[in-house]
Structure 1
Amino acid sequence: MSFACRGYNHSMIATRNLRRARVLIVGCGDVGMRAVPLFTKRAAAPRVIALTSHPERVAELRAAGTTPIVGDLDDRASLARLAGLSSTVLHLAPPQKEGDGDRRTRALIATLSAKRRSVSRGAVGAVAPHRAWRARLRARTENRSARAQNPARTAPIVPDGPFATVRRRPPIRLVYASTTGVYGDCGGALIDETRPVRPENARAKRRVSAESQVRRAAVRGDWRVSIVRIPGIYAANRLPLARIERGMPALIASEDVFTNHIHADDLAAILVRAIRRAKPQRAIHATDETDLPMGDYFDRVADAKGMPRVPRITREAAEAQLEPLTLSFMRESRRLTNTRLKRELGYVLRYPTVDDFLRAR
C-alpha cells in the first residue's frame, strides 16, 4: 500500500473517531467500571470518557477501554475540558462529605452548560438566547403566513442576520445515580417513585440537592435528565463479610428495619439502559425483588459463607453500642417497588434476589 493510501486510511479513521458518539462517566468507580464494557463491546460503540480525580487510576481506566481525564469536582477550574465534550453523561459521583447542598453537582452542571451554542456565518460574539428564540418564532410565523397565501410554496423563510446560523448542540442526556435514602424512614411501607422525598440525614439531603439541581437544569436548558435511585449495592466484593466477622450486632426481629438491594452488575446494566430508555424528569428505583429485614440479610450471607450469625440486640442497646453512621442505616425502614424498572426500562434482573446470587456462588 502506498504512503498516500495509508495516509488516506489514517484520515478516514481519524474522521470516524471524531464522529463517534461520546459517553462521559463522572465518578468511574466499581459500578462505573462494570458499565464500561456494556458501552464498548457493542456495535457502533461510543467513545467512553472517564473523569477521575485520582491520577494514579489513569492507567487502569485506559486499560478498561476508556479515555481518562483527570479532574476534580471540588475544583471547577480542573473541569474545563469537559465543556462541550459529550452530550451523554452518566453521573455516578457522590456529593462532598459536608453541608446540605451538593457543590460537586453544581460545578458539573455549570461546566457542561458552557458552550451550548455554536454561532457562525459572520455572527460576532454570543447571541442572547431570548433574541434567537424570538427570531425563530418570527420565522415560523412568516412560514405559516406564506404557506397560507401560496400552498404550493415549499421553501421555508429563514431569519436574516446572525440569528439564522445559531445551531443548537444535541441536548445533554444525563442520568444521575441517586440513593433511596432520599425518602427517609417510611416505617417499612412499600413505596414507589411518587413518594415525596423526606431526607433525614445530611447525606440524603445532599442527594436531594443534587436531584433538584439536575431537574432545574433540565427545565432551564437543553437537558434530558433521569434519576436512578439506588438501595444497598452488593456483589462478591461488596458483601458485609467484615461486619459479620467482627460480630457487629443487628437488631432483634421485632425492631429490625427493611432494607433493599441490587447487585452491582444489575445496577451497571440498569444505568446504561436508563440512558436510552428512561423518561425525562423521571425517577426509577434500581432495586431487586428481595424483601428482607437487615438482620435476615446478614444471616443469609453468613449461612452462605459458613460464618457464625451476628448477635441480635435491642434498639436501645444499639444506640449505646454502635457508631452514628451504622445507626443511621438502622433508623430507616422501607420497601421499594420496581415496577418502572420492569415496565419502562424493560429490564430483566440477572439476580432477582440476594438468595439467587448466593445460590449461584
Structure 2
Amino acid sequence: MIFIFGYGYTAKHLVSKVSDKEIFATSRSLNSLQINQKNIRIIDPSKTPNILEKYKNEITHLVISVPPDQSGDIFLKNINFNLHELINLKWIGYLSATSVYGDHDGQFVSETSRLLTKSKRGISRQLAEDQWSQLSKKYNLPLHIFRIAGIYGPERNILGRIQSRNFTRIIKKGHFFSRIYINDLTNIILASMNKPNPISIYNIADDCPSTLDDVIDYISKKISIIIPNEVLYETLSKKEQIESFFSENKKVSNRLIKEELGIILEYPSYKEGYNQIINLNN
C-alpha cells in the first residue's frame, strides 16, 4: 500500500502509473477531484493519522509531496503518528527541490555539493530535509530525498504564455536552469520505489541544463511566433533581480540516478519535452 501526502501535479502523474497497489492520497480539494482509478482513495489531510494507524501493517511506501513552510515539513509538524510503527515500511520518498543548492555560479552541482541557498523557498526545503534526515536516523527509517529541478509537462509549461504573446522575455546570458519532464520524474520515483536504498539523496534533472533564452528560442521557432517584449536582466531593479528566478545559477548533475537506478530518460532535453507538449496541443 502507498500513502501519498499531497495529491498535486507530480502525485497525480505518479499514481496513474501504479495499478497493482492500493493508494491513499491527501487533498484539500476533495469535491473538485475526478478520480478514474479504482485503486486510489483521496482523503482530507486531517484523516492522515487515522489512516496510518488503521493500515500500519499494510503501508509499504510513503510519499511526501507537499511543499514545506517556514517551520519546515508540514507532514511532520501536523501528523501525530510515530512512523516507526509502520512495521512493513520499505521506502519513504521526500520530494525536495534543487533550490537547496542556491547559487553556484553556473557550475554543476551533485548530491554532495554545498547547500548555499538564500531564498525563502530553498531555506524551507533545506530545513524540511534536515527534519526528515534527523527523524530517519533516530528511527532507522528508509528515507530517500529527491532534489527535483523545474518540473514541466502537460498543463505545466510556458507554451501557453508564449502563444498568448503577453510574455516578457528576460535576457541573462550564461544563466542556466535545469528541468525535468513529468514522465521522467515519475519513472525515477518508481525506479527508486522498486530499488530502495535508504538514506539516499538523488538529484532529478535532465541531461541538458540550458538558458531560458535557448528554451524560448526553440519553442518560438517551432510554433512560428516572435516574442516582442525583451528586458535585459541588468536593467531590472535590485529588488526585482533578487526576487526573480535568475538569482541562482547552477547546472544540476543527474549522474547518480543513472548509475544507481539505471535511468534512461525519455525526454533528455527541453527539445524532446516541448516537442511532446506542442504535439499534445495540436
Measured on the aligned residues, the alpha-carbon RMSD in Å equals 2.4
Q: Which residue matches 1:352?
A: 268
Matched position secondary structure for 2:92: strand
Say whether 1:290 aligns with 2:269. no
Q: Which residue matches 2:155?
A: 237
Matched position secondary structure for 1:174: strand
Q: Which residue matches 1:200?
A: 118
Once residues 238 and 265 of structure 1 are traced to their aligned partners in structure 2, the CA distance between those partners, rounded to angstroms, is 12
Give aligned pairs, total.
Answer: 271
- What's the offset of the Cα at 1:291? 2.7
Contact map agreement 2:241 2:247 (CA 8 A) in 1: no
Q: Which residue matches 2:246?
A: 330
- What's the offset of the Cα at 1:302? 2.2
Q: Which residue matches 1:23?
A: 2
Which stretch has the larger CA shift, 258-267 or 316-325?
316-325
Contact map agreement 1:178 1:230 (CA 8 A) in 2: yes
- What's the offset of the Cα at 1:110? 4.3
Say whether 1:37 aligns with 2:16. yes
Deviating above 4 A after TM superposition, structure 1's stretches of 4 or more consecutive aligned residues are 320-325
Once residues 149 and 156 of structure 2 are traced to their aligned partners in structure 1, the CA distance between those partners, rounded to angstroms, is 13
Structural mapping, 1:182-331, within 5 Å: 182-244=100-162, 245-253=165-173, 256-309=174-227, 311-319=229-237, 325=243, 327=244, 329-331=245-247
- What's the offset of the Cα at 1:304? 2.1
Once residues 82 and 21 of structure 2 are traced to their aligned partners in structure 1, the CA distance between those partners, rounded to angstroms, is 19
Stretches of structure 2 that go unaligned for 5 or more consecutive residues are none
Contact map agreement 2:207 2:269 (CA 8 A) in 1: yes
Say whether 1:51 aligns with 2:20. no
- What's the offset of the Cα at 1:34? 1.2
Tell which structure's C-alpha radius of gyration is larger. Answer: 1
Stretches of structure 1 that go unaligned for 5 or more consecutive residues are 1-21, 118-168
Say whether 1:341 aligns with 2:261. no
Matched position secondary structure for 1:344: helix
Under a length normalisation based on structure 2, what TM-score does the superposition of the two structures give?
0.87
- After superposition, the C-alpha distances for 1:201-260 in whole angstroms (9 at most, x for unaligned) are 11111111111111112111141000111111111322213443322121242xx41000
Once residues 228 and 100 of structure 2 are traced to their aligned partners in structure 1, the CA distance between those partners, rounded to angstroms, is 28
Once residues 346 and 182 of structure 1 are traced to their aligned partners in structure 2, the CA distance between those partners, rounded to angstroms, is 25
Aligned-partner residue type, residue 9 of structure 2: D
Once residues 153 and 127 of structure 2 are traced to their aligned partners in structure 1, the CA distance between those partners, rounded to angstroms, is 28
Once residues 195 and 221 of structure 2 are traced to their aligned partners in structure 1, the CA distance between those partners, rounded to angstroms, is 38
Aligned-partner residue type, residue 56 of structure 1: N
Which stretch has the larger CA shift, 309-318 or 211-220?
309-318
Structure having the higher helix fraction is 1
C-alpha distance 111-66 of structure 1, shift in aligned 2 (>3 A):
farther
Say whether 1:89 aligns with 2:9. no
Aligned-partner residue type, residue 30 of structure 2: P
Aligned-partner residue type, residue 338 of structure 1: N
Once residues 198 and 228 of structure 2 are traced to their aligned partners in structure 1, the CA distance between those partners, rounded to angstroms, is 43
- After superposition, the C-alpha distances for 1:139-158 in whole angstroms (9 at most, x for unaligned) are xxxxxxxxxxxxxxxxxxxx
C-alpha distance 219-190 of structure 1, shift in aligned 2 (>3 A):
same
Structural mapping, 1:137-156, within 5 Å: none
Q: How many percent of aligned residue pairs carry the same amino acid?
A: 20
C-alpha distance 53-324 of structure 1, shift in aligned 2 (>3 A):
farther
C-alpha distance 215-252 of structure 1, shift in aligned 2 (>3 A):
closer
Say whether 1:79 aligns with 2:48. yes
Once residues 238 and 104 of structure 2 are traced to their aligned partners in structure 1, the CA distance between those partners, rounded to angstroms, is 24
C-alpha distance 322-311 of structure 1, shift in aligned 2 (>3 A):
farther
**Structure possessing the higher relative contact order (Cα contacts under 8 Å, 6 or more residues apart):** 2
C-alpha distance 112-318 of structure 1, shift in aligned 2 (>3 A):
farther
Under a length normalisation based on structure 1, what TM-score does the superposition of the two structures give?
0.69
- What's the offset of the Cα at 1:331? 0.9
C-alpha distance 289-103 of structure 1, shift in aligned 2 (>3 A):
closer
Aligned-partner residue type, residue 251 of structure 1: I
Aligned-partner residue type, residue 82 of structure 1: I
Once residues 243 and 319 of structure 1 are traced to their aligned partners in structure 2, the CA distance between those partners, rounded to angstroms, is 23
Aligned-partner residue type, residue 107 of structure 1: K
Contact map agreement 2:108 2:253 (CA 8 A) in 1: yes
Aligned-partner residue type, residue 83 of structure 1: L
Contact map agreement 1:252 1:312 (CA 8 A) in 2: no
